[in-house]
Amino acid sequence: MIKVLTVLGARPQFIKAAALSRIFQSNPNFEEVIVHTGQHFDANMSEIFFDELNIPKPAYNLNVNGLGHGAMTGQMLAGVEEIIIKEKPDYVLVYGDTNSTIAGALAAKKLQVKVVHVEAGLRSFNIAMPEEINRILTDRISDVLCCPTDAAIRNLATEGFENFPSTIVKTGDVMQDAARYYAERVDVNNELRKLNLLPGKFILCTLHRAETTDNPEILFSVLGALKEIADQHIDVVIPLHPRTKAKLRDADLGKIKIIDPIGYLSMIALLKSCKLVMTDSGGLQKEAYFFDKYCITLRNETEWIELIENGYNYIAGYNRKLILDLFATLINKSWKSGVELYGGGLASIKITEAIEAHYNR
């Protein structure tokens, strides 16, 4: 029996865990213990995911949130360390690039417990991003690196990982596993009725990264473009975190439709029904592709370069004119089918196989 301690903390990690935990549950060779750090503590961003995605409830919740990077990461590290000592897992598994990710990996490595990093090898090449620091450091101390794409494998090779005692496996992306599974279980019409939306008549947008929301010049440049689109062309729907919503309390948003954070099934309904996606999120760039939607990325870089290379994703940065120009180009552009970029929904199985192979070697 292989005992895996999974450390989660943020919305995308809950969704990834929904796919992988289902495979753990069906495989008699695995026992999984889930730790929720508490990083996302709003009910719509945390508990709802465990409920609607049928993820096993966490055995532990550290309730660490609302702190600066150092304090948050430190408290998470200390909390996960205590749980590792108690549970004695064979592996600690972490997802992505959050403070929960690096805290879980550091706690494990300092206790000489092997680390599995799901979504390894991704790089934005922007070291100013806290996420970039987290992913680089987590990769460096991981024992099993589960890479979603060829580009991720190449990044690790460029950084000399062949000289490190780690196992690198191309697994595909667990987000695609989850998207395919839950897309069949969504009542799209019901979700749209709740939000008073019509299919194909709106743009789905998200804004949450600190470099976007904490810089007023950037935030209002992006919002200016979105306001022009909403006022003159088509509805723009933004599920908005309470912290960002507070920054916009007195702003003129025109016809932009701000809604509260939503669960994953509701997000799938919006993805399936929208005309176009605009986002500063890493995960939503891929999810747009999963549901045959072009994406305008409201950042200066992306980890998902294969989407750029294949013409599914376009980087606008924070430039109002470029955002509007790309909107005009893509709003009525026909979707082009292409190669399968993310593993075709088999990533979770390949990850469990990689862990078993590493354990039995």
**Domains of the chain from N-terminus onward:** 2-172+346-360 (3.40.50.2000), 188-330 (3.40.50.2000)
**Residue 46: pLDDT band by 50, 70, 90 thresholds?**
low
Give the pLDDT mean for 340-352. Answer: 95
Determine contact, residues 143/126, Cβ cutoff 8 Å.
Answer: no
Give the pLDDT mean for 307-312. Answer: 96
In DSSP notation, 186-247 reads: --HHHHHHHHT--TTSEEEEE---HHHHT-HHHHHHHHHHHHHHHHHTSEEEEE--HHHHHH
For 33-79, give the secondary structure using H, E and C.
EEEECCCCCCHHHCHHHHHHCCCCCCCEECCCCCCCHHHHHHHHHHH
Residue 53 has a pLDDT of 79
Active site residue 358: no
Query: What would the pLDDT profile of 190-207 be if each residue is shown by its tens digit?
Result: 999 998 999 999 999 999
Closest CA to 7 of 25, 33, 29: 33
Give the pLDDT mean for 321-347. Answer: 94
CA angle 38, 356, 264 (to 5 degrees): 35
Residue 81 has a pLDDT of 98
Query: What would the pLDDT profile of 260-295 be if each residue is shown by its tens digit?
Result: 988 889 999 999 999 999 999 888 999 999 999 999
Determine contact, residues 210/237, Cβ cutoff 8 Å.
Answer: no
Whether the pLDDT of residue 45 is over 70: the answer is no
**Residue 339: pLDDT band by 50, 70, 90 thresholds?**
confident
The bridge status of strand 295-297 relative to strand 276-279 is parallel
Query: What would the pLDDT profile of 197-239 be if each residue is shown by its tens digit?
Result: 999 999 999 998 888 888 989 999 999 999 999 999 999 999 9
- Encoded amino acid at 299, one letter: R
Q: What's the farthest any 2 CA atoms get from each other in the chain?
A: 61
Residue of 36, 208, 241, 358 marked active site:
208
Which residues, including other chains, have CB under 8 Å from residue 190's CB and lie 6 or more apart? none
**Residue 43: pLDDT band by 50, 70, 90 thresholds?**
very low
* Residue 278, Cβ density class (10 Å: 0-12 exposed, 13-18 middle, ≥19 buried): buried
| pTM, to two decimals | 0.87
Whether the pLDDT of residue 40 is over 50: the answer is yes
Could you tell me the two tokens for 273? Answer: 């029904």
Determine contact, residues 81/104, Cβ cutoff 8 Å.
Answer: no
Q: What span, in angstroms and rounded, lies between the C-alpha atoms of 101 and 105?
A: 6
